[in-house]
Amino acid sequence: MNPKVSAKEKLKILISSVACCLLAFLLMIVFIPKLIGYETYYIQTGSMGAVIPKGSLVFAKEITFDEVKLGDILTFHNDDETEHFTHRVIEIDKNNQMFTTKGDANKDADPSPTSFYFCEGRVDFSIPLVGYVAEFLNSVIGKVVVVAAYLAWIAVEIEIFIIKRKSSREEETV
């Protein structure tokens, strides 16, 4: 048996390891939060300033109206649920279940109050810069890159299997 590993095999092992780590990372930031009741959103503007910088991935959990307090950071959706914004609650209208919100980096409050109906949840934590990754992965190009990377990974795994099988056959004939 040849204990030396060729540079080609080392590269294949490296690619396989990177692919496994990437898959684990994606599972960690996408699926695990969903299992414990969180939805993820990426921040596309700097309206929340240093607290939640542009490019962050925020984790919001559904709450009831009565759980909302002044100072909470909430994520809301628009009428057709295609866009979201994340701002801090600065005033609560309990009679109409409405919130006046403001981005921490914005000079003024948002122009009109937002109904609790549009609330996706309270932001419990965020991870800076990971939102850029999430945004890329949600794009068509990102999905194509991920599929291509995993197809390449599968091809590498198959080739490693073939090489090992060929090597073991050669050892049996010797």
pLDDT at 1: 46
pLDDT at 62: 96
135-144: Cβ within 8 A, 24+ apart:
135/42, 135/44, 137/26
Closest Cα partner for 149 from 23, 48, 61, 49? 23
Domains of the chain: which residue ranges? 37-128
- Residue ranges for the chain with pLDDT beneath 50: 1
Give me 16's structure tokens.
């396989």
Sequential DSSP letters for the chain: ------HHHHHHHHHHHHHHHHHHHHIIIIIHHHHTTEEEEE--SSTTTTTS-TT-EEEEE---GGG--TT-EEEEE-TTSS-EEEEEEEEEETTTTEEEEE-TT-SS--SS-EEGGGEEEEEEEEETTHHHHHHHHHSHHHHHHHHHHHHHHHHHHHHHHHHHHHHHHHHHH-
pLDDT at 142: 86
Name the architecture of domain 37-128.
Ribbon (2.10)
Question: Could you identify the residue written with the tokens 């002044």?
Answer: 70
Question: Could you identify the residue written with the tokens 């009565």?
Answer: 66
Instruction: Quick: pLDDT tens for 51-96.
Output: 999 999 999 999 999 999 999 999 999 988 889 999 999 999 999 9
Distance CA 156, CA 145 (A): 16
